[in-house]
């Protein structure tokens, strides 16, 4: 049986309107998305809709964390990207591009197909490697975004989709410096979505210290 995309499209329409982070994330955590296998939600490379939901989850988590600095904060998807998303704080809108950093050998399409065949198939768990090499993976993701040469300067949020024991934000800040000036600010969200760090940038987010992990 094929997938009925209409319910997903309606969810995208709803996510494209400014909402409080909790309300925004509650849409993503509801059916039909919540009943989808995690592998499809995060790894299916074939459908723009699923990519939009992944971006929504990532920006929603950051917005949730930023509520500790402002109770007048809302978030939405942007269907006319770039940028991918917007955060509204104190009535001012800030455009965010979203990108993901993976292990360099990870093949998302192949991983999804294998997961479909064998849902119980495991993947290498290498938090030590992620702690040592993760800064370079994130820097490569930032460099790739920089090389797209956007006509406007946006904020950038990198979803670090790999396992770690720890990760030093200051090391990321140093390694991404040559490409950082293309963005208003750069942020990193960890794999579980329960911690974020501002790597560089000022403006309205100057109340958020750079190179420090905040809990979501």
| Whether the Cβ atoms of residue 167 and residue 131 lie closer than 8 Å to each other | yes
- What pLDDT score does 105 carry? 84
For the domain covering 6-215, report its CATH number: 3.40.1540
Amino acid 35: pLDDT: 72
Average pLDDT over residues 101-124: 74
Distance CA(199)–CA(58), nearest Å, equals: 16
pLDDT score recorded for residue 84: 96
Q: Look up tokens 């723009």; give the residue.
A: 48
Q: What percent of the chain has pLDDT over 70?
A: 85
Across the beta sheet with 155-160, what order do the strands follow?
73-77, 85-89, 92-101, 155-160, 185-189, 195-201, 214-215
Give the pLDDT band of residue 45 (cuts 50, 70, 90): low
Degrees, nearest 5: CA angle 133-134-139: 105
Domain ranges in the chain are: 6-215
């Amino acid at each position: 049986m094929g997938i009925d995309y209409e319910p997903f499209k309606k969810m995208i329409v709803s996510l494209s309107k400014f909402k409080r982070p909790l309300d925004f994330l509650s849409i993503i955590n509801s059916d039909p998305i919540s009943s989808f296998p995690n592998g499809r939600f995060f790894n299916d490379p074939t459908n723009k809709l699923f990519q939009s939901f992944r971006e929504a989850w990532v920006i929603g988590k950051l917005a949730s964390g930023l509520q500790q600095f402002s109770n007048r904060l809302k978030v939405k998807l942007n269907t006319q990207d770039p940028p991918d998303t917007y955060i509204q704080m104190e009535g001012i809108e800030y455009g965010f591009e979203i990108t993901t950093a993976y292990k360099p050998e990870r093949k998302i399409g192949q991983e999804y197909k294998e997961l479909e065949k064998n849902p119980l198939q495991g993947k290498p768990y290498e938090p030590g490697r992620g702690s040592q090499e993760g800064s370079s993976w994130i820097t490569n993701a930032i460099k790739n975004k920089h090389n797209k040469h956007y006509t406007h300067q946006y904020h950038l949020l990198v979803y670090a989709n790999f396992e770690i024991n720890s990760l030093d934000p200051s090391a990321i800040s140093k390694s991404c410096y040559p490409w950082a000036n293309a963005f208003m600010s750069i942020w990193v969200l960890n794999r579980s979505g329960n911690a974020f760090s501002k790597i560089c940038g000022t403006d309205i987010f100057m109340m958020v210290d750079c190179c420090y992990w905040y809990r979501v």
